[in-house]
Amino acid sequence: MMIKETSLRRDPDLRGELAFLARGCDFVLPSRFKKRLKSFQQTQIQNKPEKKPGTPLPPPAPFPSSPRPPSPVPHVNNVVSAALSINIPRFYFPEGLPDACSNHEQTLSRIEAAFMDIEDQKADVYEMGKIAKACGCPLYWKAPMFRAAGGERTGFVSAQSFITMWRKLLSNHHDDASKFICLLAKPSCSSLEQDDFIPLLQDVVDTHPGLTFLKDAPEFHSRYITTVIQRIFYTVNRSWSGKITATEIRKSNFLQTLALLEEEEDINQITDYFSYEHFYVIYCKFWELDSDHDLYISQADLSRYNDQASSNRIIERIFSGAVTRGKTVQKEGRMSYADFVWFLISEEDKRNPTSIEYWFRCMDVDGDGVLSMYELEYFYEEQCERMEAMGIEPLPFHDLLCQMLDLVKPASDGKITLRDLKRCRMAHIFYDTFFNLEKYLDHEQRDPFAVQKDVENDSPEPSDWDRFAAEEYETLVAEESAQAQFQEGSFEDYETEEPPSPSEIVNKGNKIVTSSLSEKCGKLQSVDEE
């Protein structure tokens, strides 16, 4: 069959098409070729750009001297993609950045030598401290190591089982956060839940020299462990998911603080997470509010905190489940001790990032992620009513709103976001204005230049929570000492209903004042009371 049009004949795409047809079969049927050619011409017309008048035609393509059809050229994008995929280095290491210089065999040799010094090369949970040091880990990793190597089932860990476990861990996990998660988490889990911390913290209670007095008061072990767990999640679990990931561990100071337990004998010097004095303050505050001592407080109980300083509307929001974490379901009309830990820290330290998020969730009534003007007015109405009952003339809402907008300086007019409150560094004044009358009046009477100085001061100082806990602890110990001196004259067998005070133990030669709390409350509940 003859093709008379020179332009078609010289078109390289048509020649390529003819070449593909020729390679596909020994001969080409005329009807089949005509159909193929028509389809090709229609495609060329559709893809041809619109030509303006006076535009010269493109020069014809030179006809190749060789009759051999040209090979199809590979697509340029494929070449670029292949080159990029080869040249881009790996940048995501969920299990930590591998260290090419680390000598795992040398570490395993030290572990094997440490087991040689133990009788029968079988270590219990206390002797695991030597193994932890041989691994280059902090002392209080020993309980997680013991459990991960199967020691909980047999009561000991053999050298062979531990080395097998540790070799596998070193090959798959390359930094402390990833290793810690692997040791504590349940099998096939990559995050930590609250009950995963119980063995670690029970070992701290049993072996730390600063908590030896608790050996004679086991009824407070679970309360102390609950407090520490809630403080860990309050600070570390920034996602509010109820599960701590390796990334959150890396961004926190938890592992560094855990390592300090080995160096510091006075556990009260470690104010982050582990301080017994902080636990003592939190538990005593809860015990004062828990009038029926059922280990839960009601909405009416919580409203009595700090002489009813918090408004009823904000307390209703707390009990509505606005600040629950993960899949936790708020028990209707009741707050557990674990939830009270979050409330107390948030109430007394409104500069803390978690506290800012806590109260933002409470004030965001419609849950749209911004505090609108009607939400601010809703909470300020009760403040006005309480001030009028006290004989104080409240500031009109419009004037107060202008002050708050100048304070926060939101990015969008009429809408205050969580980012705005964190950026302004004055969130504690903002929140107290709308639902804590006592602190709001204190802010009003304070010198504004002193407030600005506090905001601009970047020097490391104790947090609001640390200051509150220290002051309250001194007050509680003084009250307890005065009450004990009064009671010693009339009662020989006096029993207090509060946890033992470390200062009392030191002053009285480590004599523990036992508690009748366990008898009144019955069986102690588990650490995870949510």
At 146, the pLDDT band (50, 70, 90 cuts) reads very high
Contact residues for 95 (Cβ-Cβ < 8 A; gap 6+): 172, 173, 174, 175, 178, 246
Give me the amino acid identity at 97. Answer: L
* Residue 307 domain flag: yes
Residue 161 to residues 121, 174, 272: CA-CA distances in angstroms? Answer: 11, 20, 35
- Average of pLDDT values for 7-33? 58
Q: Are 333 and 300 in contact (CB under 8 A)?
A: no
Q: Say whether both 168 and 201 belong to one domain.
A: no
Please report, for the domain that includes residue 381, its CATH number: 1.10.238.10
**What's the total number of domains in the chain?**
3
Q: Say whether both 303 and 368 belong to one domain.
A: yes
* Residue 30 domain flag: no
| Percentage of the chain lying above the pLDDT 90 cut | 53
- Average of pLDDT values for 242-268? 95
| pLDDT, greater one: 449 or 187 | 187
Q: Say whether both 470 and 345 belong to one domain.
A: yes
Distance CA 343, CA 310 (A): 11
Q: Are 148 and 139 in contact (CB under 8 A)?
A: no
Identify the bridge partners of residue 296 per DSSP, sorted by sequence position: 336
| Largest distance between two CA atoms of the chain | 127
Q: Say whether both 380 and 242 belong to one domain.
A: no
Please report, for the domain that includes residue 125, its CATH number: 1.10.238.230
Q: Say whether both 361 and 321 belong to one domain.
A: yes
Give me the amino acid identity at 47. Answer: N
- Average of pLDDT values for 451-461? 59
- Average of pLDDT values for 379-391? 94
At 520, the pLDDT band (50, 70, 90 cuts) reads very low
Q: Say whether both 267 and 346 belong to one domain.
A: no
pLDDT score of 372? 94
* Residue 66 domain flag: no
DSSP annotation string for 480-503: HHHHHHHHHTT-SS--BSSPPPHH
**What domain range includes position 299?**
293-447+466-479
Quote the mean pLDDT of the chain: 81
Helix (H) or strand (E) holding 451: helix 448-456
Q: pLDDT digit string (tens) for 394-446?
A: 999 999 999 999 999 999 988 999 999 999 999 999 999 999 999 999 988 87
| pLDDT, greater one: 72 or 256 | 256
| pTM score, whole prediction | 0.76
Q: Say whether both 262 and 326 belong to one domain.
A: no
* Residue 320 domain flag: yes
Say which range, 67-76, 84-93, 279-288, has the weakest mean pLDDT: 67-76
Measured between its terminal Cα atoms, the distance across the chain in Å is 86
Q: Say whether both 161 and 109 belong to one domain.
A: yes
Residue 331 to residues 296, 299, 321, 334: CA-CA distances in angstroms? Answer: 10, 12, 8, 6
Say which range, 131-145, 327-341, 495-509, has the weakest mean pLDDT: 495-509
pLDDT score of 13? 62
Please report, for the domain that includes residue 268, its CATH number: 1.10.238.220
pLDDT score of 63? 45
Q: Say whether both 152 and 209 belong to one domain.
A: no
Q: Say whether both 376 and 348 belong to one domain.
A: yes
Q: Say whether both 231 and 115 belong to one domain.
A: no
At 333, the pLDDT band (50, 70, 90 cuts) reads confident
